């Protein structure tokens, strides 16, 4: 089992690679020119800015969508979750438009970036948050959050000034606004749940 | 429920070893940054800060190697700071797995670097360390110092904090030079003054001697996070102990 990690150039993927390695999953950094077909899952990692990520994902949008159509699991983390939507107020460029809705900034009355540990409250039948009802502290580092048009894809909610969607799922596509690779034991369980799903 | 207040142990790294007080018992463990990092993480530290106190060229490579080793095993965020004097250094540290870099002197000398870094890697990985000292010349009463707190700059600490926020800093690591090492408690006036004037998180540092000091900084001082070194290193208070203490006093903290 090997996961593809899409490279946005600017993003730091070392921690994510290390986290999968600790769970015995091999990863390979892929660029937009590469073939995505040989991987068991695609990971869109999480650091950088929407416009620059959008430049990369737009160039390989058809390839990613083709994999998703075939049922290849996709996991977007932080910014990687945001690019699954249509657009972002962070900057120009289109997302992958897998989900309807936009990415917007936190209201001015809260401190941004939202950096630190917060709780994710699982909704019914979440694949990623299975078994984590009481161990729900996860690590966030972001200024924008997704606002899905179809609320049924929201599987986890976090409160920071407002309530926002912190876990999105519509099989085989998943996304977390937080960083599971930085969320200690809880994050490890979430990545394990994803790996179990890939193995299903 | 808002996000949790963070407890951040600080590890001083000198020539590849974590420096600890002489009363620390297990010197062997203390010497290894990776083991120390894991120990704190397992005890419930929310983040770690590694401060390189050597900052000589030959040990830079050692530092990058430590960053890499720590990133391979640690599953909580960590910041690396101390003596970072070039943009290349910050890239090197971030590429090798650190989540954030903390810069001080370099930011004062060339503030545009803050914008460059945050545009490239995102503001969440740019921590600006401000070392401030009480001063009659600064309008806010606090002046910014650089070069490991040795050099006064004439810059007002509150104005500088506002400026770094505008330039793209993600967090401020605020150290009171007057209180650092004193164990008399954080400078609450400094911390609250800065926190009230900016909209990015403030990490209070300098002066922690008891769990009550942490509580004061997170309430009266309006800090979002607290950095402490000696109370954890000397095993005076464990992380689970202080977290339980803060929780019982009504603060929102991440309990394991």
Domain contains B1? no
Tokens of B157: 């600490």
Query: Are B124 and B130 within 8 A, CB to CB?
Result: no
Is B254 within a domain? no
Chain B interface, mutation test: which of A10, A77, A116, most B Cβ atoms within 10 Å?
A: A116
Give the ranges where chain B is alpha helix by DSSP (H). Answer: 27-30, 33-43, 57-73, 87-95, 105-109, 112-121, 157-167, 188-197, 211-218, 230-233, 239-248
Look at residue B27 and tell me if it is in a domain. Answer: yes
Evaluate whether residue B256 is within a structural domain.
no
Q: What is the DSSP letter of B80?
A: E
CATH node for A2-199 = 3.40.50.880
Nearest CB to B225 within list A116, A141, A181? A116
How far, in Å, CA of A142 to CA of B126, rounded?
13
CB contact under 8 A, B99 and A111: no
Give the per-residue pLDDT at B175: 96
Please say if A67 is a catalytic residue: no
From B14's Cα to the closest Cα of chain A, the distance in A is: 24
Q: Is A100 a catalytic residue?
A: no
Q: Does B206 reside within a domain?
A: yes
Does residue B96 form part of some domain? Answer: yes
B111 domain residue, yes or no: yes
Q: How large a percentage of chain A has pLDDT more than 90?
A: 79
| Per-residue pLDDT tens listing for chain B (256 residues) | 568 999 999 988 877 777 654 333 444 445 578 888 999 999 999 999 998 876 565 666 778 888 999 999 999 999 999 878 888 888 889 889 999 999 999 999 999 999 999 888 888 899 999 999 999 999 999 999 998 888 999 999 999 999 999 999 999 999 999 999 889 999 999 999 999 999 999 999 999 999 999 999 999 999 999 999 888 877 789 999 999 999 999 999 999 8
| Count of structural domains within chain B | 1
Chain A residue whose CA is closest to B252: A118
More confident residue, A71 or B148: A71
Question: Do residue B73 and residue A18 have CB atoms under 8 angstroms apart?
Answer: yes
CA distance B96 to chain A (A): 6
Is residue B104, in this structure, part of any structural domain at all? Answer: yes
Closest residue of A to B120, CA-based?
A10
The domain locations on chain A are 2-199
User: Catalytic one among A60, A78, A142, A169?
Assistant: A78
Total beta-carbon pairs less than 8 A apart between chain A and chain B: 99
The boundaries of the domain holding residue B102 are 6-248
B95 touches chain A (CB under 8 A): yes
User: What pLDDT does residue B69 have?
Assistant: 92
In the predicted model, what is the mean pLDDT of residues A144-152? Answer: 97
B72 touches chain A (CB under 8 A): yes
pLDDT at residue A52, rounded to an integer: 81
- Span A16-20, mean pLDDT? 95
pLDDT surpassing 70 at residue A11:
no
Which DSSP string do the residues of B142-175 spell out, in sequence order?
Answer: EEEEETTTTEEEEEEHHHHHHHHHHHT-SEEEEE
What's the pLDDT at A10? 59
Tokens standing for residue A70: 């075939």
Mutate to test the interface with B, among A78, A82, A117, A190 (most CBs of B within 10 A): A117
Q: Could you say which residues from 197 to 256 on chain B have a Cβ atom under 8 Å away from some Cβ of chain A?
A: 199-201, 224-225, 254, 256
């Amino acid at each position: 089992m090997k996961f593809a990690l899409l490279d946005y150039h600017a993003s730091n993927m070392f921690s994510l690679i290390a986290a999968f390695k600790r769970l015995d999953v091999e990863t390979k950094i892929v660029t937009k020119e590469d073939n995505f077909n040989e991987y068991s899952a695609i990971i869109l990692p999480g650091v950088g800015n929407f416009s620059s990520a959008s430049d990369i994902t737009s160039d390989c949008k058809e390839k990613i969508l083709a994999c998703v159509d075939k049922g290849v699991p996709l996991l977007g983390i932080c910014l990687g979750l945001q690019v699954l939507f249509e657009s972002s107020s962070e900057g120009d460029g289109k997302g992958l438009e897998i989900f309807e809705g936009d990415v917007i900034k936190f209201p001015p009355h809260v401190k941004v970036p939202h950096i630190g540990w917060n709780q994710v409250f699982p909704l019914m039948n979440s694949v990623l948050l299975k078994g984590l009802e009481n161990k729900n502290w996860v690590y966030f580092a972001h200024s924008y959050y997704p606002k899905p048009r179809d609320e049924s894809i929201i599987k986890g909610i976090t409160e920071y000034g407002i309530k926002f969607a912190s876990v999105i799922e519509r099989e085989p596509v998943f996304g977390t606004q937080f960083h599971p690779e930085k969320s200690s034991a809880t994050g490890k369980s979430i990545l394990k749940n994803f790996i179990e799903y890939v193995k299903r | 429920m808002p996000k949790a207040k963070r407890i951040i142990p600080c590890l001083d790294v000198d020539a590849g070893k974590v420096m600890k007080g002489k009363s620390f018992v297990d010197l062997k463990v203390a010497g290894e940054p990776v083991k120390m990092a894991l120990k704190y993480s397992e005890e419930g530290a929310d983040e770690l800060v590694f401060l390189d106190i050597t900052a000589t060229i030959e040990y830079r490579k050692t530092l990058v190697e430590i960053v890499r080793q720590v990133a391979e095993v640690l599953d909580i965020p960590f910041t690396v700071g101390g003596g970072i004097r070039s943009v290349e250094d910050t890239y090197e540290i971030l590429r090798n797995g650190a989540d954030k870099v903390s810069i001080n002197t370099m930011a004062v000398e060339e503030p545009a670097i803050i914008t460059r870094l945050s545009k490239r890697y995102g503001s969440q990985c740019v921590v600006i360390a401000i070392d401030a000292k009480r001063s009659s010349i600064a309008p806010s009463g606090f002046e910014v110092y650089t070069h490991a707190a040795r050099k006064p700059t004439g810059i007002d600490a509150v104005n500088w904090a506002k400026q770094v926020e505008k330039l793209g800093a993600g967090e401020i690591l605020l150290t009171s030079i007057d209180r650092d090492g004193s164990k008399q408690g954080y400078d609450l006036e400094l911390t609250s003054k800065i926190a009230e004037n900016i909209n990015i998180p403030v990490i209070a540092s300098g002066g922690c001697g008891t769990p009550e000091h942490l509580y004061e900084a997170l309430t009266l001082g309006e800090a979002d996070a607290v950095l402490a070194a000696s109370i954890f290193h000397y095993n005076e208070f464990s992380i689970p102990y202080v977290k339980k203490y803060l929780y019982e006093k009504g603060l929102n903290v991440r309990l394991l």
